């Protein structure tokens, strides 16, 4: 993220993490994570399984504490004001706990006691929109129907900030679409949505901002459009296996070798990047194209991508210091 974008996010941020560390026994779940989420956007948190997404969300909602660093939501401290935060925001966890013996209307009526007037009416409208059966007890609802109840409970009070941990898993394609559209609508009226997801195509459709976590570290935070325009995939074919070719200038996120082909994912590739590959460089068929979000995600999160796939021992000694 460039400095101007970073400053903009920090100025209007609805949530903020500063140098947050979290460890579970030997597992480092979050490592020096700093993040500001601006208001009025759909902000997607991407990362491989175990990257630390749920841990980050649990710290924001006060279900876990950071070992070090500071987290705040809507200006409130996540450690000391978590009850207040949970009342203000909407939150759906990856496994929502609901009162199993109640019916959907009953749980809405029960929950309405914690929220201002207007909650129940809105909740009931959402249940009707989502076609949730009113007479069935929660324990007998399908996975998708449960997810709809949890979502209706989370947005019934029209929260300024909605936090969703993998919101669309278990939803059918129609509801998934309806649901994602409603996220965009929320952002359009100034509400903020933070969602974690593995569904890159969905994120690409709805997110304004994207953050990518990898092994507990925040690798990318940027507006989606900026990411799409600033990151490119450079491809070169090497003349012979094991030849040492230059690395393109710019910020090389990763390098992948497949036979004679090398692919680099590069941020801020200079216009004159081809000058780095004179005929003597041993690389031909040079091309650069914009990288898709999926390509960027894989480049950052697939650990195999940072290790060259080689077919002879000589190539193993190729210098990779330029890669982080
Ligand atoms: N309570 C816990 N005790 C021990 N380890 C934990 C605990 N919670 C999380 N972890 C570990 O911390 C790491 C991050 O887990 P987290 O659930 O935040 O990942 P995630 O990005 O949400 O993954 P997924 O996409 O699979 O849901 C994992 O290695 C996980 O095993």
143 in a structural domain:
yes
pTM of the model: 0.83
Between 63 and 8, residue with greater pLDDT? 63
Q: Is residue 114 predicted with pLDDT exceeding 90? A: no
Cα(215) to ligand 1 centroid in Å equals: 10
Residues 43 and 65 in one domain: yes
Least confidently predicted of 12-16, 204-208, 240-244, 265-269? 240-244
Does 323 fall in a domain? no
Q: Are residues 286 and 178 in the same domain?
A: no
pLDDT at residue 11, rounded to an integer? 58
Residue with the two structure tokens 């009931």? 124
Q: Is 29 in the pocket of ligand 1 (CB under 6 A)?
A: yes
Q: Does a structural domain hold residue 96?
A: no
Q: Is the dihedral of CA 298, 304, 306, 311 positive or negative?
A: negative
The whole-angstrom separation of Cα 283 and Cα 147 is 52
Tens digits of per-residue pLDDT, 208-236?
Answer: 999 999 999 998 898 999 888 888 999 99
CATH number of the domain enclosing 211: 3.40.50.300
Q: Is it the case that residue 42 has pLDDT exceeding 70?
A: yes
What's the pLDDT at 185?
87
Last residue of a domain, one of 138, 154, 170: 154
Do 150 and 174 have their domain in common?
no
Domain-located, residue 245? yes
Query: Is 205 strand, coil or helix?
Result: helix
For residue 276, the SS3 value is: helix
Query: Do 115 and 187 fall into the same domain?
Result: no
Q: Is 26 in the pocket of ligand 1 (CB under 6 A)?
A: no
Highest mean pLDDT: which range of 28-37, 145-154, 176-185:
28-37
For atom 18 of ligand 1, the residue with the nearest CA is 52
Please enumerate in sequence order all residues whose Cβ is within 8 A of that of 24, keeping only pairs 6 or more positions apart, or say none: none
Residues 84 and 179 in one domain: yes
Q: How far apart, in whole angstroms, are the C-alpha atoms of residue 29 and residue 24?
A: 7
Check whether residue 165 and residue 45 sit in a common domain: yes
Pair 114, 72 in one domain = no
Domain end position, chosen among 116, 139, 154: 154
- Domain range for residue 311? 231-316
Q: Are 174 and 268 in a shared domain? A: no
Does 127 lie in the same domain as 73?
Answer: no
Q: What is the pLDDT confidence band of residue 240, given thresholds at 50, 70 and 90?
A: confident
Give the mean pLDDT of 2-13. Answer: 58
With both helix axes pointing from N to C terminus, report the angle between 119-129 and 143-155 in degrees, rounded to the nearest 10: 150
What is the edge-to-edge ordering of all strands in the sheet holding 76-77? 27-38, 13-24, 68-73, 76-77
Is 50 exceeded by the pLDDT of residue 160? yes
Select the more confidently predicted residue: 42 or 166: 42
- The whole-angstrom separation of Cα 170 and Cα 168 is 6
Split into its structural domains, the chain has a count of: 3
- Chain Cα centroid distance, residue 151: 19
| Residue 221 falls inside a structural domain | no
Same domain, residue pair 207 and 250: no
My answer on whether 149 and 171 are in the same domain is no
Mean predicted confidence (pLDDT) in 25-45? 94
From 135, 154, 173, give the residue that closes a domain: 154
Summarize pLDDT for 128-142 with one digit per residue, the tens: 988 899 889 999 998
Which distant-in-sequence residues (6+ apart) come within 8 Å of 93 by Cβ? Answer: 54, 57, 165
Whether the CB of 58 sits within 6 Å of ligand 1 = no
Range in 40-44, 80-84, 230-234, 255-259 the model is least confident about: 255-259
Residue 95 lies in a domain: no
* Residue 128, domain member (yes or no): yes
Strand partners, 233: 265, 289
The predicted model gives 72-85 an average pLDDT of 94
- The answer to whether 211 and 221 are in contact (CB under 8 A) is yes
Burial per residue of 123-152, b for 16 or more beta-carbon CB atoms within 10 angstroms, e otherwise: bbebbeebebeeeeebeebeebbbbbbbbb
Q: Is the pLDDT of residue 158 over 70?
A: yes
Q: How confident is the model at residue 283 (pLDDT cuts 50, 70, 90)?
A: confident
52 alpha carbon – ligand 1 mean position (Å): 6
**Please, what sign has the CA dihedral across residues 185, 190, 196, 197?**
positive
The pair of structure tokens assigned to 305 is 């991508």
Cβ neighbours of residue 142 closer than 8 Å, sequence gap 6 or more: none
CA distance 78 to 202: 29
What was the pLDDT predicted at 256?
80
CA distance 3 to 195: 24
What percentage of the chain has pLDDT greater than the value 90? 44
pLDDT over threshold 50, residue 311? no
Residue 212 Cβ inside 6 Å of ligand 1? The answer reads no
DSSP 101-169: TS-HHHHHHHHGGGS-TTHHHHHHHHHHHTT--SSS-GGGS-HHHHHHHHHHHHHTT--SEEEEESTTT
Residue 225 is assigned to a structural domain of this protein: no
Q: Is 95 in the pocket of ligand 1 (CB under 6 A)?
A: no
Q: How confident is the model at residue 112 (pLDDT cuts 50, 70, 90)?
A: confident
Q: For ligand 1, say whether the CB of 53 is within 6 Å of any of its atoms.
A: yes
Cβ(44)–Cβ(192) under 8 Å?
no
pLDDT recorded at residue 57: 96
Question: What pLDDT shows up at residue 5?
Answer: 53
Measured in whole angstroms, the distance separating CA 114 from the mean position of its chain's CA atoms is 30
> What local confidence, expressed as pLDDT, does residue 67 receive?
95
Q: 45 pLDDT exceeds 90?
A: yes
In ligand 1, the atom with minimum distance to the C-alpha of 56 is: 18
In angstroms, what is the span from residue 47 Cα to ligand 1's centroid?
Answer: 11
Average pLDDT over residues 87-98: 85
* Residue 90 near ligand 1, beta carbon < 6 Å: no
Same domain for 304 and 250, yes or no, is: yes
Report whether pLDDT(2) > 60: no
Q: Read off the pLDDT band of 315 (50, 70, 90).
A: very low
User: What pLDDT sits at residue 7?
Assistant: 55
Closest by Cα among 54, 4, 6 to 220: 6
């Amino acid at each position: 993220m460039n400095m101007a974008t970073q400053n903009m996010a920090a100025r209007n941020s609805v949530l903020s993490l500063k140098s947050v560390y979290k460890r579970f026994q030997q597992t480092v779940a979050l490592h020096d994570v700093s993040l500001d989420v601006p208001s009025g956007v759909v902000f997607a948190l991407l990362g491989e399984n175990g990257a630390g997404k749920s841990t980050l969300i649990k710290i924001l909602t006060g279900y876990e504490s950071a070992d070090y660093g500071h987290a705040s939501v809507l200006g409130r401290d996540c450690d000391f004001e978590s009850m207040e935060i949970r009342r203000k925001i909407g939150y759906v966890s990856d496994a929502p706990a609901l009162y199993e013996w109640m019916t959907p209307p009953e749980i809405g009526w029960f929950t309405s006691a914690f929220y201002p007037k207007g909650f129940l009416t809105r909740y009931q409208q959402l249940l009707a929109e989502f076609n949730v059966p009113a007479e069935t007890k929660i324990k007998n609802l399908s996975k998708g129907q449960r997810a709809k109840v949890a979502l209706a409970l989370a947005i019934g009070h029209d929260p300024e900030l909605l936090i969703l941990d993998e919101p669309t898993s278990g939803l059918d394609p129609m509801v998934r679409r309806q649901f994602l559209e409603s996220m965009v609508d929320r952002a359009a009226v100034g509400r903020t949505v933070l969602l974690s997801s593995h569904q890159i195509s969905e994120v690409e459709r709805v997110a304004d901002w994207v953050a990518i976590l990898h092994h507990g570290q925040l690798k990318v935070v940027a507006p989606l459009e900026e990411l799409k325009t600033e990151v490119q995939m450079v491809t070169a074919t090497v003349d012979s296996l094991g030849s040492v070719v230059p690395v393109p200038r710019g910020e090389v996120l990763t390098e992948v070798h497949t036979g004679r082909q090398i692919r680099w994912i590069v941020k801020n590739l200079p216009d004159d990047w081809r000058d780095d590959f004179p005929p003597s460089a041993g690389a031909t068929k040079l091309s650069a194209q914009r990288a898709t979000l999926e390509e960027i995600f894989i480049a950052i999160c697939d650990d195999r991508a940072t290790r060259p796939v080689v077919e002879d021992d000589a190539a193993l000694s190729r210098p990779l210091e330029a890669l982080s």
